Each structure stands twice: as structure tokens, then as C-alpha cells.
Structure 1
Amino acid sequence: MTKRFLLPLLVVLPATSASAQTLTQALALAYRSNPTLLGEQANQRSVTENSAQTRSGWRPTVSVNMDANYQQGPYTDAFALGTYTSNYAEGYVTARQTLYSFGHVANQVRAADARSRAEGHALRLTESQVFTNAITAYMNVLRDRNVLEVRRADLDMLTRQVQLTTSRYNLGGQPTEQVTRTDVEQAETRRRSAEVALTQARATLAASEALFRAVIGVEPQNLTMPDGLPGMPPSVGQAVTAAIAANPQLARMRETKDATAADIDTARSQWGPQIQVQGTFGTIGPASPFRGREYGEQLAGTVSLVQPIYNGDLYNSQIRQARAKDEQARQNVELAHRTALQDVVTNWRAVENGLQAIRAGMAEVQSGETALKGYQLEYGYGLRSTTDVLYADQNLRTAQVELAGSRHDTIVAEATLLAAMGRLQARDLLPDEHHYDADANLQRARARGWEPLQAPISALDKAGW
């Protein structure tokens, strides 16, 4: 894409390079402090713990139990058979290990990992949304400050025009230089309208500065007009290809589809056999009075195989439910695919149109300035009317405001296009910043609590799936 017509506006705020607040600096501040983004990062760490929790099904569980019991009572209500006494205390350690779950744990792990990856893409989506909001807020302030300066310049010019018109009306003069009361009132009306426009511009700027503070976290200082955003593709075809490969929402829906497919297998695996082994070791003896020499060891081991036969159609219902959700996920993938393509094409055209509007707007402003100066000069010689001067001024101010809007809209369209392509990320915009690594958090969650038996048991559990 041909660049770039984003030079400063003809009416700009004064700024020094030492105090300039660039777009990159503003994005870095938002990346470090925006609560929406930081909250989503915390949520991503939370979701990845599901990957660790599901893996616990392949690992042993060990518990310590201690019981004490003393009871004395009759064998019958009539005490005919005497009384009995129960008096014991025991302590034991129990270890349980699932040897085979017919893929139930394996499929739960597949689903959890897919959802953890989906959450990583959700974080990318939030990141791009925060950057889009930050860029929009930055450009809003730039646009509205320039519009405010346009309105101030307009009011100053119209005030001088009212004074000049009033003086000529009061002094009279040659017939070609005379103005009427209508000319005075016309100029005064335009001046009043300029005051209203200036008031509205101040209110709009205040709202934009408030949005800037909310998104970026600091007061806007001397902002500088960016030349453009990095990573813009040379053609719409390449933009579409990049979006299909890296659009955050599309990638999120694909991972969610993988998770729902694993949910179907999780539901199906409930019909299979499960094999568990359990071992118990402890000691038992009288609770009262306590006599340590009377305590003896107890040791037990159990291997159990459970095969479901009938459960009131519960498992079958869960399978049907999982398949319906999988179909929903498939449709969500298609929706995300179509939306990504729509966003790319729409914003590509918006950027192209914006660049054309900037070219035309710059020429229009230049012509408008020349026309206004000429009309003002000719007005002094009686060759132009008050209406001509006011009309030329109105055309110039409209062109300046539209040029400010075109520059704003073009940068925002670039941001939206890059977001749809998956390129509005910290690694693209802030290469020197320390980046949050969602993949590393997932890998750490998957490795926590690893046990030596996990590898062979997980391999056996995955067999056939």
C-alpha cells in the first residue's frame, strides 16, 4: 500500500521534541497498565491451570487417615445378652492410582489443553482490542485538538471580519466599498456560530482526553501525528491470507472446536472400563486406655475394574449434548472466518479511501487558504462582498476539519485492519517491550506435578484415541 500523507495538519498544536508523547510511548503505557489487559492475563493463567488439574487423573493420590472409636451398649433393649464394647484407634496411609481410564483422562486433557490455547488467543484478541482503543483514543485527541485550533482561528478571523464590516458600514465611502446592515448582521451571525462551534470543540476534546486517560492511564501531553502503523500488507490478498492464518478470534474458535471434539470422546469414554489400584498401610489398637505395645500393623491392597452397563441413558445423553456443542463450535469457526474476511476487506478499503481523502483534503486546504487570502484582499478594494469572504472562510474551515478527520480515520482503519490480521500485538508494535508469554505459562502449567508413572500411564490411556 502506498504511503503516506499523514504530515502534521496545517493548523497544529505547538510541541517540542523533548516533550512529545509518541503513539509508541502511549501504547507501551497501555500495555503495562491497562486493567482490561492485565485482568485477561490473570484469567489466562487461571484457565491454564485446568491443564494441570486434568493431568492429576494420571497421577497417584496419597492420603493419611486417623480414626478413634469407643462405644459401649447393650446387645438388646432388655440387656438379655449383656453388653458390648467397641474400642479401637487406627492410623493408615492410602495410595490410589488409576492404571487405565479407557481414554477418559486423556480426552479431558485434550479438551483442557485446547481450551487453554483458546484462552491464549482470547488474550491476543483482548490485546489487539486494547491497542485499537488506545490508538483510537490517541487519534481522537489529535483530531479534536486540531479541530479546536481550527475553530479558534475561525473565530478570530470572523471577529476581525465583523469589526471590519462594522467600520465600513459606519464610515460609508465609495459606492463600491459600501456595506449594508445586512452585511454586518451576516458577519455577526457567522461569528456567533463560530463561538458555538468552539464551545462544542472544547467539549468534544474534553471527552476524548477523558477516554485517553481511561485507556492509556495518563494525561495526554504533546501528541505527535504518526506516519502510519507497522506491518501494513502490500495487497488485500496478503491481508486476507494473514487473517486466515492469525486472526485471534478465528484461532480461538478453532481451538474451541478442538476442545468440543475432545468433549465428545470424553463422553464416549465413560462407557469403557476403568482399572484402579489401591494400597493401605497402617496400625490399629485400643483407643482407651492407649497401649502402644498392643498396636499391630495392617496392610491391604485392592485392584478394581469397573465396567458401566446401564445408567439410565445418562452417558448417551452427554454424548448427544457434546455433539450438539461441537456443531455449534463448528458454526462459530465459520462465523469467525467470514467476519475476519469482512473486517479485512472493509478496513482495507477504508485505508485506501482515507489516503485518497488525505491527498484531496491537503489540496483543498491549500486552495482554500489561497482563496480566502485573495477574497480578503479583493474585499478591501470593493471587488468582493462580505458573503464572498464568509463563504471562503467556511469552505476553508470545513476542509481543515475534514482533513483532520481523514487522518484520524485512516490510522484507526489501519489499526482495525492489523487487528483483523492478527498483527496488532505487542510483539509487532512494541518490539523493545517485555512481552507477556501465554505459551510459556501453558507449558509450565502442563509440567507442574509431573510424576514418573505419568508417562507410561498416559501412553496406555491414549491408546486407541
Structure 2
Amino acid sequence: MRTGGKIVAALLAGVALGAPALATTLQEAFIQTYNSSPALNAARAQLRATDEGVPIAKAESRLQASSTLGLSQNTNGIARLNNGGRTLTAQLNLSYPLFQGGRVKNAINAAESRVAGGRADLRTTEGNIFTQVVAAYMDVIRDASIVDLNKKNVDVLNTNLKASRDRFQVGDLTRTDVAQSEARLSLARSQLVTAQGNLTGSRENFRRVIGIWPETLAPPPALPPLPATPDQAVETALSNSPAIQAAGAITQAAGFDVRAARAQRLPTLAAVGGTNYNNYLGTINQVSGGFGGDNSQGSNSAGIALTVPLYQGGLVGARVRQAQAVQNQAAEQGIDVERQVIANTRAAFASYRAAAEAITANQQAVSANELALEGVRAENRVGTRTVLEVLNAEQELLNAQVDLVSAQHDQYVAGFALLNAMGEAEARDLGLDGGSLYDPTANYNHVRRWIGDWSDQPQYTPRGTRTSGPTPEAPDVAPYDPDKTVTPRSQ
């Protein structure tokens, strides 16, 4: 049973999370990516190229027509062109295949199987790209939260340093205590700069994947219900994974290729016909040696041509063996793809569960560290705890808060990766409302019956958005202003 359809309600539930009115939502990021991703548009173009394999295969079963037009000048010597006869010739040749040993039928079936595999590959690409969107989206939220936590930590340590200096002035603390506060503030500033760099990198990756610069991101909506056990997840993946379906289609196409190669050993039968026209352009006397005659002659012909291959130098046998080897390769790759899907599904399930347990543990750690910090500060005020112990308690709280943010990020990304592994993270599962979805069958239905040699596609204009140009300013990642803090110095 598909659970991905429940994502629609989950995405809409993001409105109730208290996000700013102008914030970019995860659904908007999906829509932006779906409409402007160059990787996704390239995959669609690749599928359109695969669609053309069907009319290419069908062309071998249709009437073939060719014509030849020639003009020749017979000479009695290079310097006496005017004494030779001239001949204008025109030929029209027609051939219609009646029997080709099943070669064309199997080629068409192989092409149609590859189209089915191409559609499954497009689904795989969609799911993988949307998983990248979720990861990029959550990376920005995580790193922005870590920057905020580090800013608050710098502010707290700055306040601590001021208090330490004041207490040092009245003789309540030693120079060592002040130096420890200064060192910890410098370390916090370094951590803040590192966090700001990580956030900038995440924002650049967001722009690469989604095509726009992230300003303010709304909290992500809740994920839909996920399987309770890894076995349930694997069962869904095996029945629904587009990667497995694509591998099966390619294996089937390879089987048709083997049959098409074997058909080259069989006779072929074709109906043939044509017409010939010769015009001597008034020079029939020179051509016939002076006996005269009609200057124009024509003839028509029609019949059946049977071609029986007797020996082709081992070519057909080599092609059959080659096609069989490709078929073996496709079969083995299908098993490998199945292994990958199972491994990815179980790994995503394990990561999701581990992150969920880590969230619980880190929430407890944050609560405990908050309580411990409050106690250490109180004990420091009465002289039973040192400044270093207060600094360590503050650092432990910061570490627990960062770990909690990271675990929340990891759980959401792993949950969506699990949906993707099960084949439930495609556009049809996400309820995108940014316009009609791309129909992979539209181009196929349009070209599969084309018979004209002059039917080109219109000039293509890339739909992928470019990300060149200056980077927008992001106030929350601006370099930390040292003028707003006390510069550490020894007393």
C-alpha cells in the first residue's frame, strides 16, 4: 500500500507551524526544482530521445523509396565532347518488406521496453532530486540554527567575561579566571565563524539544487507515517521501486535484442518495383552509330525479391553472442539494483530510527545540561564552583543543543530518503500545485506514428535557471561584529 499520497496533507500542514508569511516552504522548493532543475529537464530530454527508438525500429517495416538522376556525356576524346552522345537517366526504386524473420518486430518490442525503462529512470531521477532538495533545505535550517546557538553562546560568554573582569577588579577572581573566560570567548567566536561558513556553503548548495537563494525558510512539515519495520519498508520498495522496474525493462529489451539478432539468419522477402527513363537529348545517332531511333526510352518493373543468407562470415553468430552477453549483463545488473534498493531502504530506515532515538537522548541531555548550568552558576556565585566549571557547563549545553538540531535534521532527511527508497518521493506523491505535471507519455504518443523524414522538433530553449550573479546578502550570516562585544585582553 502506498503511503506517499499522505505527503499532500503533511505538506499543507506546514502552514500551521508558525512560519513567517513570506518564508519559502518545502513545497515551494519542490515546485521550483520540478520546473527549473537542469538535471531533471535533461532526464526528460533523455527520455524523449529514447522515445525515438520506437519509430526508428518501425521504419524498417515501411515502404522504402529512392530515386537516381544522372547526366552523362560520351566522348571520342577529351577534346571532342561535342561528338559524343549525351544521356539523361532517371530511376525510381521501391521496396516493401514482406518478411524479415521477426527482426523488425523484436526491434520494436525492444525499443518499447527501453521506453518503459526510461520512464522508470525518470521517476528515479525525480525521487533522487527531491531527496537532494530535502537535504539542502534541512541543511540550511540546521546550519542557521547552529549559527544562532553559537551567536547566543558568544553573547553569554561576553557577559561572563564582563562579570569576570568586574569580579577581578574587586579581588573576587584571579587573573587565571579572567584568562579562561577570554580563551573560551575566543573559541566561541571561532566556532561561530565556522558555523557561518557552513551555513554559507549550505545556502550555496541550496541554490545549486533548487535554483534560488534561500532567504527565510519555513519549518518543514511532518513526514507521513513510515513503515514500522525494515521488512515492511523493503516489501514496499521491491514492489514499487522505479530502479527495479527500470532494470527489469532493460533486461526484457535485451531479450528482444537477442531474438532480433537471430532473425538475421533467416531469409527476407520484399516486394520490389521501379521505373527507368533514359533520354539521349537528341544524340541517339551518335550513341547508336548512325542507325537512329527514339531519343527517349522508359521501362517499368515489379516483382518479389527473396534474399537467402547462406554464409555471412560469422557476423550473425557474433552478433547473437554479443546480444546474449548484454542480456546476461542486464540480468546481473538487475540483481545488483535490487540489492542496492534493499540496502538503501534498510540503511535509511536504520538512520531514521537512530536519529529518532538520538533526538530523545539529546532532548534529555539539553534539559539536564540546562539544569546543571543553572546549578553550577548558583554554586559559583557562592564560591563552591570555579569559573572554568561554569564555562564547561555552558559548552556542554551548547554541544547538546547542536547535537539535538543535527539529530532533528538527520531524522527528517533519513525519513524522506526512506520514502525515496520505497519509490514514494516522486512528483505524483508530493501533491505539487505549481502547474500540470510533466507527462512522459505525451512525446511518445506524438512521435510513435510519425512517418515523415522531415518532421523535426522545434528549436529547444533550456528551462533550467542559472545561478550566476552576485550572492544576495544574508543578515543572519554576516560576520560577527567585534565592536559589539568586549575584546578579550589580559588584566
Distance 1:408 1:289, change over 3 A: farther
Counterpart of 1:169, as a letter, is: F
- Which position in structure 1 is the counterpart of 2:175? 181
Query: Deviations along 1:406-429, whole A, 9 cap, x unmatched?
Result: 111111112221221111111112
- Which position in structure 2 is the counterpart of 1:215? 209
- Aligned to 1:229, the other structure's residue is in SS state coil
Shift of 1:92: 4.1
**Distance in 2, Cα, partners of 1:128 & 1:437:** 16
Query: Deviations along 1:345-401, whole A, 9 cap, x unmatched?
Result: 111111111112122222322332333234334433334321221122111101111
The reply on whether 1:70 has 2:73 as its aligned counterpart is yes
**Distance in 1, Cα, partners of 2:229 & 2:73:** 84
- Which position in structure 2 is the counterpart of 1:441? 443
Contact residue 364 and residue 399 of structure 1 kept, 8 A: yes
- Which position in structure 1 is the counterpart of 2:110? 111
Query: Deviations along 1:243-264, whole A, 9 cap, x unmatched?
Result: 1122222222111111111111
Contact residue 114 and residue 249 of structure 2 kept, 8 A: yes
- Which position in structure 1 is the counterpart of 2:41? 38
- Which position in structure 2 is the counterpart of 1:130? 129
Contact residue 111 and residue 258 of structure 1 kept, 8 A: yes
Shift of 1:117: 1.8
Contact residue 206 and residue 214 of structure 2 kept, 8 A: yes
- Which position in structure 2 is the counterpart of 1:52? 55
- Which position in structure 1 is the counterpart of 2:354? 353
Distance 1:363 1:340, change over 3 A: same
- Which position in structure 2 is the counterpart of 1:423? 424
**Distance in 1, Cα, partners of 2:391 & 2:51:** 65
- Deviating more after overlay: 363-372 vs 387-396: 363-372
Kindly report which structure 2 residues correspond to 1:64-463, keeping only aligned pairs within 5 A, or say none. Answer: 64-73=67-76, 85-172=84-171, 178-230=172-224, 232-281=226-275, 283-287=277-281, 295-433=296-434, 434-449=436-451
Distance 1:449 1:144, change over 3 A: same
- Which position in structure 2 is the counterpart of 1:4? none
Contact residue 266 and residue 308 of structure 2 kept, 8 A: yes
**Distance in 2, Cα, partners of 1:395 & 1:66:** 90
Shift of 1:430: 3.4
- Which position in structure 1 is the counterpart of 2:28? 25
Contact residue 48 and residue 443 of structure 2 kept, 8 A: yes
- Aligned to 1:222, the other structure's residue is in SS state coil
- Aligned to 2:128, the other structure's residue is in SS state helix
After superposition, the CA RMSD in angstroms is 2.5
Shift of 1:231: 6.7
Contact residue 231 and residue 423 of structure 1 kept, 8 A: no
- Aligned to 1:310, the other structure's residue is in SS state coil
Counterpart of 2:127, as a letter, is: S
- Aligned to 2:306, the other structure's residue is in SS state strand
Contact residue 48 and residue 442 of structure 1 kept, 8 A: yes
- Deviating more after overlay: 88-97 vs 407-416: 88-97
When normalised by structure 2's length, the TM-score is 0.81
**Distance in 1, Cα, partners of 2:371 & 2:220:** 27
Query: Deviations along 1:18-56, whole A, 9 cap, x unmatched?
Result: 111111111111111111111111111011101111111
Query: Deviations along 1:196-253, whole A, 9 cap, x unmatched?
Result: 1001011111111111111111110211221333473344333212211222222221
- Deviating more after overlay: 382-391 vs 306-315: 382-391
Query: Deviations along 1:145-199, whole A, 9 cap, x unmatched?
Result: 0000011011111111111112112202xxxxx3222222222111111011001
Q: Across the two proteins, how many residue pairs are aligned to each other? A: 425
Shift of 1:295: 3.9
Counterpart of 1:18, as a letter, is: A
Structure 2: which 5+ residue stretches go unaligned?
Answer: 4-16, 285-293, 453-491
Contact residue 275 and residue 305 of structure 1 kept, 8 A: yes
Shift of 1:84: 8.8
**Distance in 2, Cα, partners of 1:421 & 1:183:** 56
- Aligned to 1:73, the other structure's residue is in SS state coil
Counterpart of 2:62, as a letter, is: R
Contact residue 121 and residue 251 of structure 1 kept, 8 A: yes
Identical-residue share of aligned pairs (%) = 29
**Distance in 1, Cα, partners of 2:224 & 2:104:** 45
Contact residue 88 and residue 288 of structure 1 kept, 8 A: no
- Aligned to 1:223, the other structure's residue is in SS state coil
**Distance in 2, Cα, partners of 1:248 & 1:299:** 55
- Deviating more after overlay: 404-413 vs 247-256: 247-256
Shift of 1:85: 4.5
Contact residue 15 and residue 222 of structure 1 kept, 8 A: no
Shift of 1:288: 5.2
**Distance in 2, Cα, partners of 1:97 & 1:344:** 52
When normalised by structure 1's length, the TM-score is 0.85
Distance 1:84 1:310, change over 3 A: farther
- Aligned to 2:438, the other structure's residue is in SS state coil
Structure 1: which 5+ residue stretches go unaligned?
Answer: 2-13, 78-82, 173-177, 451-465
**Distance in 1, Cα, partners of 2:224 & 2:60:** 46
Distance 1:296 1:230, change over 3 A: farther
Shift of 1:319: 1.2
Counterpart of 1:385, as a letter, is: T
Shift of 1:297: 4.2
Shift of 1:298: 2.5
Distance 1:270 1:231, change over 3 A: farther
**Distance in 2, Cα, partners of 1:219 & 1:367:** 38
Shift of 1:126: 1.6
Distance 1:16 1:227, change over 3 A: closer
Contact residue 284 and residue 298 of structure 1 kept, 8 A: no
**Distance in 1, Cα, partners of 2:281 & 2:191:** 91
